[in-house]
Amino acid sequence: MKDNSRGDINLVDPNYYLPLIALLILFCIPLVIKSVSWMQIMVLILWYACLTLSWNFVGGFAGVLPMGHAAYAGVGAYVSTLLFINYGLTPWVGMLIGGVISVLVALLIGVPTFKLHGAYYALASIAFVELLRMVTENTNKIFGIKINGARGLLIPLKGHSPFLFQFGEKIYYYYVILAMMLLIFFISYKIQKSKLGYYLVAGGEEQEAAESLGINVTKYKLIALSISAFFMAILGTFYAQLVLFIYPQGIMSLSLSFEIAFMAIIGGRGTLMGPILGAFTLVPLAELSRMYLSGSRFLGIHLMLYSSIIILVMLYMPKGLIGAFEKIYFFFTNKLFKKS
């Protein structure tokens, strides 16, 4: 997007009213869509948008490449669920505790691994999420608390009870996740326009130069990772409450980690809108190709289509979808401006 950091808000400027219109559409979608499965897809799109935005704090702004970010979602989902099952604590509070624990885990893992660069960091993060998944899959009980290993945990159904983060209809989940997305987007925006954002970018682009300018690069990367891990954990809790069932191969898997990274990279890492755009393109693509193609006689054709599109984007849009999107966007906004 264009730099709007200065100047007054001008509602005639398409850079202001177009995002507002997009937001309005997002608010109205549940009023139009009545199908449960379509609502589920909408909720998932927003959930993935939140995940990619959270990933973007580290993978985008700080310029490292985490490929095991589902680990933090897993920590959040398990902490809030275990607290709920065993102590009856509402996931609204549980998710904050999960967030804090996730930050501690992130710091523990971040201090040694941020000494690594490029592919080595990516490999270390993959090793970490796999380690966490395997440990969880092979643990039945720890300190008398039942974890249930690979079979996962069922969250007891309580009907429609907002206090316990369980809703009778998808529309509630939709507005909760929409609010989360706006919050994470707002924080991303604030960080990008602050010293923290500048320091993260500098450290990511040229570590040695950044350090000569007084930036403790590792410290700032850890701050970014903490923010990221906190939101990942909260999103893990959200998913647990949406599906009411969690298991290691799902919520703390390598495939979810890759999906998050792919979406953010294909959308445009390091930008504000890129990760959202990635989720809004790839989630429907995956869901639709699964819905309409997986039943056909060509097994796995939906995956082939999905990955072909990813490869094409990587080849022809090095800056991600956001680069192409911006060109179209500015083309039209310039036209609008000239007409008015």
Partner 1 sequence: MLKRGEKIDMKLLTIKNLSKRFGGLMAVDDFNLELKGGEIMGLIGPNGAGKTTIFNLLTGVYQPDLGEIVFMGKNIKNLKPYDICFQGIGRTFQIVKPFLNRTVLYNVMVGSFLWTNDIKKAEEEAIEVLKFIGLINKKDLLGKNLTIADRKRIEIARALATKPKLLLLDETMAGLNPTETEEAIVLVRKMQEEKKLTVLLIEHVMQVVMSLSERIAVLNHGRKIAEGTPQEVSCNENVIKAYLGEEYVTT
Least CB distance to partner 1 at residue 20 (A): 24
d(CA 26, CA 87): 36
Q: Does 115 bind partner 1 (CB under 8 A)?
A: no
In DSSP terms, 108 is beta-bridged to: none
For the segment 5-34, give every residue that binds partner 1 (CB under 8 A). Answer: 5
- Least Å distance between CB 205 and partner 1? 4
| Residue length of the chain | 340
d(CA 177, CA 199): 30
Interaction between residue 214 and partner 1 (CB under 8 A): yes
Using the rule CB under 8 A, give the single segment among 12-20, 46-54, 116-124, 208-216 that binds partner 1.
208-216
Token representation of residue 255: 């495939």
Tell me: does residue 118 bind partner 1 (CB under 8 A): no
Between CA 169 and CA 176, with CA 170 as vertex, the angle to 5 degrees is 110
Which of residues 3 and 296 has its CB atom nearest to partner 1 in the complex? 3
Measured over the CA atoms of residue 304, residue 309, residue 310 and residue 314, the dihedral's sign is positive
The residue (of 172 and 198) whose beta carbon lies closer to partner 1 is 198
Q: How far is the CB of 208 from partner 1 (least distance, A)?
A: 6
**Would you count residue 199 as binding partner 1 (CB under 8 A)?**
yes
Q: Which residue, 54 or 192, has its beta carbon nearer to partner 1? A: 192
Contacts of 326 (CB under 8 A, 6+ apart): 1
Contact at 8 Å (CB) between 233 and 98?
yes
- Window 150-189: residues binding partner 1 (CB under 8 A): none
| Cα end-to-end span (Å), the chain | 21
Q: Is 272 in the site for partner 1 (CB under 8 A)?
A: no
Query: Could you tell me the smallest distance in angstroms from the CB atom of residue 319 to partner 1?
Result: 10
Name the H helices within the chain. Answer: 14-32, 36-56, 70-87, 91-113, 119-137, 170-192, 195-205, 207-212, 217-243, 248-251, 254-267, 274-293, 301-316, 321-339
CA neighbor of 165 nearest in space, from 259, 48, 249, 76: 76
**198 lines the binding site for partner 1 (CB under 8 A):** yes
The nearest distance, CB 335 to partner 1, in angstroms, is 24
Among 23, 25, 27, 205, binds partner 1 (CB under 8 A): 205
| Closer to partner 1 by Cβ: residue 185 or 319 | 319
- Residue 210 is a binding residue for partner 1 (CB under 8 A): yes
- Binding-site size for partner 1 (CB under 8 A) equals 20
Nearer to partner 1, 222 or 240 (CB): 222
Told to check if 335 binds partner 1 by CB under 8 A, we report no
Where does this chain touch partner 1 (CB under 8 A) — which range of 71-79, 124-132, 215-223, 300-308?
Answer: 215-223
How far is residue 257 CA from its own chain's centroid? 10
Q: What is the spatial distance between Cα 58 and Cα 267, in angstroms, rounded to a whole number?
A: 15
Q: According to the binding rule CB under 8 A, does residue 211 interact with partner 1?
A: yes
Q: How far is CA 265 from CA 3, 59, 99, in A?
A: 21, 9, 25
Could you say which of 13, 130, 206, 287 contacts partner 1 (CB under 8 A)? 206
| Residue closer to partner 1 (CB basis): 28 or 209 | 209
Task: Output the six-digit token pair for 135.
Answer: 């440990």
Q: Which C-beta is closer to partner 1: that of 126 or that of 193?
A: 193
Which residues contact partner 1 by CB under 8 A?
Answer: 5, 193-195, 198-199, 201-202, 205-206, 208-217
